[in-house]
Amino acid sequence: MKIFGRIILYVALISLFGFLLVQLFFMDEYAEFSAKYLHGASKSQSGSEKTLNIAYAFGVTDLDPVEFDPSIRSRILNIYEPLVQTDRNLQIQPCLALSWGRLTDNVWEFHLRPDVVFHDGTIFDADDVIRSYYRAVQDKKSSLVDILKTIQKLEKVDDLTIKVITKDPDPMLVNRLSTLLIAPSEKKDFSDPIGTGPYVYSIGNENLDELTLTRNADYWGDVPYYKNVIIKTIKNRFDRFDAIKNGEIDILANVPPLFAAELKEIPAVTVTALPSLEVNFLIFNMEDEVVGDKRIRAAIVSAIDKDAFVEFSKGYAQPSEQFVSNGIFGFNPDIEENDMSIAQAKEVVREYNAFKRPQISIDMTQGTEVIGEYIKEQLDEIGITVSLNFLSWDNLQDKINNKESQVYYLGWRSEIGDSSDFFENVIYSSGAFNGGNYLNKKIDQLVELSLKNLDQEKRLQQLHEIMRVVVEEDIVGVPLFESDVIYGVRAGVQFRPRLDGSVLASEIY
């Protein structure tokens, strides 16, 4: 099942995966840009002959631009480009589109960058955008169908102008289009990536565990500093450690928290980290006899000491009090931590049934045993007996779809930087991941309004109210923690992590 928000299910705190996405800023009038953007970026001549080596823990089997898997995107964003993109601080910036704006509530117009050349020598124009869009929403393998589902059609005005017609007013349209990567309209074989980006795909071995990219000499923007980029997959963490220690790689992504301390001991390596903005949480089944009782839900929230997750991760995590991170549009700054004491939680549980300990079952994915056992111990202290079920992702998804879980554990990253995708999928009564039988007609109405409201101030108020109700009033679950994404960087390499977690070779010196 395709879903709008990417579900992140962690193997354990020692192997947390870090790809981020936070608030993307919506532009609702025609953008006005400097001469740099209107006439093409000036080309820097500071490129060197050096090779940059990047290593990831997770491999890929595909390099198709319609895939939204973070492991694939981490590689192909060096090759392909979208109409709009985010900068290091996640401000929306022009890319293959120079400017855009709404003509009506449902019609947008985008003006494309002239004189852009694909890596195969063909000229970029409106046909490439339209073909890339229709492939993204029609190809069976595409992960973008739900993200782009609000679009009704694209129309060509001329070679450098397109119209985007949405089914309803869509305040997140520009954010959605930042996920659409553009390929030549005539291209049919995507095993050999061809884009407009700063690097050209040179060669990859059969398993795609080593890719070589070469600087795009005809790039419309600044010339990248590194001539060549080699992207490796090194699945064994000890092999990754040896590779950066020995100088075989320059940037190591996917550093487990327990490994970060060891990397810090290497004189030639710097460890840097940023919050991943991905929240892990429990969701209650509101129709269950035990957790359907709001008093029990409140007691469970108060029983779990979230600071322990920081300790488990050696300081590379933060406790969460909401279902999205502070960097996501819709995070409510007025929500406070639950103030029920452990003593009060114990009394609530005792009053619920003085003769028999309440029992609950928590469904989690295989590999989250450390987290599960800790939660079990915490709830045992207030008088609740917990059984843990560690399932494959497919089996957990089936239980959620069938609303069979008493309590289930998920991690969520809002892919376009907005809390509405979490609300639409997990909170909305017909949401794909509303396995908790949560139904609140007021909240359903607010979710529907937030998905169409073009007034950002009023829309933010709607999202704040949804968050307040589901966290404080209805207590639909327990936000637990968000992890950091950690990198190891060799001395002499100028690298600053991006808030979206992408490692873009063109930004490294």
Asked if pLDDT for residue 298 goes beyond 90, the answer is: yes
Whether residues 210 and 296 fall in one domain: no
301 within domain boundaries = yes
Asked if pLDDT for residue 166 goes beyond 50, the answer is: yes
Query: For residues 200 and 221, what is the distance between their CA atoms, to the nearest angstrom?
Result: 14
Asked if pLDDT for residue 31 goes beyond 50, the answer is: no
Query: For residues 85 and 95, what is the distance between their CA atoms, to the nearest angstrom?
Result: 6
Mean residue pLDDT across the chain: 89
SS3 292: coil
Q: How many domains would you assign to the chain? A: 2
CB 261 within 8 A of CB 314: yes
Asked if pLDDT for residue 25 goes beyond 80, the answer is: no
> Residue 373 is part of which domain span?
277-483
CB 249 within 8 A of CB 52: no
Residue 257, CA distances (Å) to 15, 68, 480, 483 in order: 7, 25, 17, 9
Helices (H), 434-502: 441-450, 456-468
Asked if pLDDT for residue 375 goes beyond 90, the answer is: yes
Whether residues 285 and 424 fall in one domain: yes
Q: Give the residue, 229 or 262, on which the prediction is more confident.
A: 229
pLDDT score for 46:
58
- Which of 160-164, 254-258, 482-486 is predicted least confidently? 254-258
Q: How confident is the model at residue 40 (pLDDT cuts 50, 70, 90)?
A: very low
Q: What is the pLDDT of residues 102-114, one digit of tens each?
A: 999 999 999 999 9
Q: How confident is the model at residue 42 (pLDDT cuts 50, 70, 90)?
A: very low
Measured on CA atoms in the order 393, 397, 403, 404, is the torsion positive or negative?
Answer: negative
Burial class of residue 270 (count of CB atoms within 10 Å of its CB; 0-12, 13-18, 19+): middle
Q: How confident is the model at residue 250 (pLDDT cuts 50, 70, 90)?
A: very high
Whether residues 201 and 316 fall in one domain: no
Whether residues 225 and 288 fall in one domain: no
10 within domain boundaries = no
239 within domain boundaries = no
Asked if pLDDT for residue 167 goes beyond 70, the answer is: yes
